[in-house]
Amino acid sequence: MTNVPFFRPDIDDEDIAAVVEALRSGWITTGPRVQTFEAAFARYVGAAHAVAVNSCTAALHLALAALGLRRGQAVLVPTLTFAATAEVVTYFDATPDFVDVEPDTLCMDPAAVETRLARAWNRTTEIVGAIAVHYGGQMAPMPRLAHLLRAARCFVVEDAAHALPAAAYDPETERWISVGDLADVTGFSFYANKTITTGEGGMATTADATLAQTMRSLSLHGMSQDGWTRFGAGGSWDYAIAAPGFKYNMTDIAAALGLRQLAKVDRFRARREEVAARYTAGLGDLEEIEPPRERADRRHAWHLYPIRLRLDRLAIGRDEFGQALAARGVATSVHWRPLHMQPYYAQRYGYRAEDFPVAFREWRRLVSLPIFPGMSDAAVDHVIAAVRDTAADGRRRKFAVA
Ligand SMILES: *Cc1c(COP(=O)(O)O)cnc(C)c1O
């Protein structure tokens, strides 16, 4: 039987050779390869500065630290996101203030942000910023969100873990806006299953030299210079600690892989887009499911391909649907149980499931299908057949047959 994994990283012989070369070079932690990777990454995303770190979570944490988040303040976070987006806010004893998502893109809803900001005056916590998430690789409505947040003097952080590369059209300026263009700081992920990988890794990008310098220093114990500068020719052993920092630096081993992966990022995206188009062509007519909705004014990274089940037309639920796909050799996932429905956040802040009706309604019918650059047409077709068979088996019959 064919087995289709949910994801498989695309690592070729040249990627492996680059890592081996780094291992043989005599310098394996943060050094020349990290510097080259940062410069190439900044150029690719069109950012003035890029700071390489060991995860996107670290990048988001450093972003909030550099932006000066303080205890007792609040940061708006979409409830439909991965744990990291909200968790980094709690590192400061600050409050992740959840908002609902748009029904079609499942990204942070500008209308919900507007309502939250308008009511902020009678809250005990001060909303100082927001972290937008580009759900599945489709860019959040950044022009609108940035406009609303700037007007309220809030900082803007983008969690771009899914969105290398992605863009949105801004009708005001009649330009395409790339991921990161409208944010103070943007975090990218190079986790094993993200759009490019370094095993574990991340990048913080910004247009602001001071924010970049603060994040760079905080990424390595708050030290004024890193090991490569200190131990390299003409370096000195000494350094100054401006503030206590963290241990978030990227290794040259990871950067060697990152550089190779970055060279392939457009090819990877093109293949993911083909896979998505093949899915939509093969599933679009099926009445039991809805394919992901792509807006015409977005350039989608297609990190995920999340279908939604029409539960009114099915006699089975989402989990049974996933189990039936697994039985047909197709691995799936769910992105995600909304964070306000996770025990910690529900108990700590007293959220009820229905507080965010869109996220509450949609997550119950979300199933993410496999999508990755090395996926063959045959594998895509196997998944399409499995979804069609599962939908046919699970179809709700109007009249029971005796
Ligand atoms: C994967 C992911 C992260 C965390 O990335 P790491 O590199 O694993 O820290 C953050 N936000 C979202 C939306 C993610 O999917």
What percentage of the chain exceeds 90 in pLDDT? 91
Q: Which residue's entry shows tokens 């899914």? A: 162
Instruction: Please check the confidence at residue 122 and state whether its pLDDT lies above 90.
Output: no
398 is catalytic: no
Question: What is the distance in A from the centroid of ligand 1 to the CA of 82?
Answer: 6
What phi and psi, each to the nearest 5 degrees, are found at residue 57? Answer: -55, -45
Kindly state which CATH superfamily the domain 266-401 is placed in: Aspartate Aminotransferase, domain 1 (3.90.1150.10)
- Closest by CA position to 75, among listed 93, 57, 58: 93
In this predicted structure, the answer to whether residue 233 has a pLDDT above a threshold of 80 is no
| Residue ID of nearest Cα to ligand 1 atom 5 | 56
* pLDDT tens digits for range 8-38: 999 999 999 999 999 999 999 999 999 999 9
Q: What residue ranges line ligand 1, CB within 6 angstroms?
A: 55-57, 81-82, 84-85, 133, 159, 161-162, 189, 191, 202
Take atom 1 of ligand 1 and give the residue whose Cα is closest.
Answer: 161
Query: Which of ligand 1's atoms lies nearest the C-alpha of 59?
Result: 9
13-262 placed in CATH 3.40.640.10? yes
Atom of ligand 1 nearest to the CA of 159: 11
Residue 129: strand, helix, or coil: strand
How far, in Å, CA of 128 to CA of 255, rounded? 33
Helices and strands of the chain, counted as H and E runs? 14, 13
Which of 170-174, 240-244, 361-365 has the largest mean confidence?
A: 361-365
What integer is the mean pLDDT of 101-125?
A: 88
Q: Where in the chain is the domain with CATH 3.90.1150.10?
A: 266-401
Distance CA 240, CA 99 (A): 41
Give how far Cα 263 sits from Cα of 197, 308, 313, Å.
Answer: 12, 33, 44
Task: Quote the pLDDT of residue 224.
Answer: 84
Q: How far is the CA of 294 from the centre of ligand 1 (A)?
A: 22
213-218 contacts: CB < 8 A, separation 24 or more? Answer: 214/62, 214/65, 214/66, 215/51, 215/59, 215/62, 215/63, 215/65, 215/66, 215/185, 216/51, 217/242, 217/243, 217/245, 218/62, 218/65, 218/66, 218/243, 218/245, 218/246, 218/248
Measured by CA distance, the residue closest to atom 13 of ligand 1 is: 82
- For 33-43, how does the pLDDT look when each residue is reduced to its tens digit (9 = 90+)? 999 999 999 99
Cα-based angle 275, 276, 278 (whole degrees, multiple of 5): 65
Q: What mean pLDDT is predicted for residues 342-368? A: 98
pLDDT tens digits, 278-335: 999 999 999 999 999 999 999 999 999 999 999 999 999 999 999 999 999 999 999 9
Q: Where in the chain is the domain with CATH 3.40.640.10?
A: 13-262
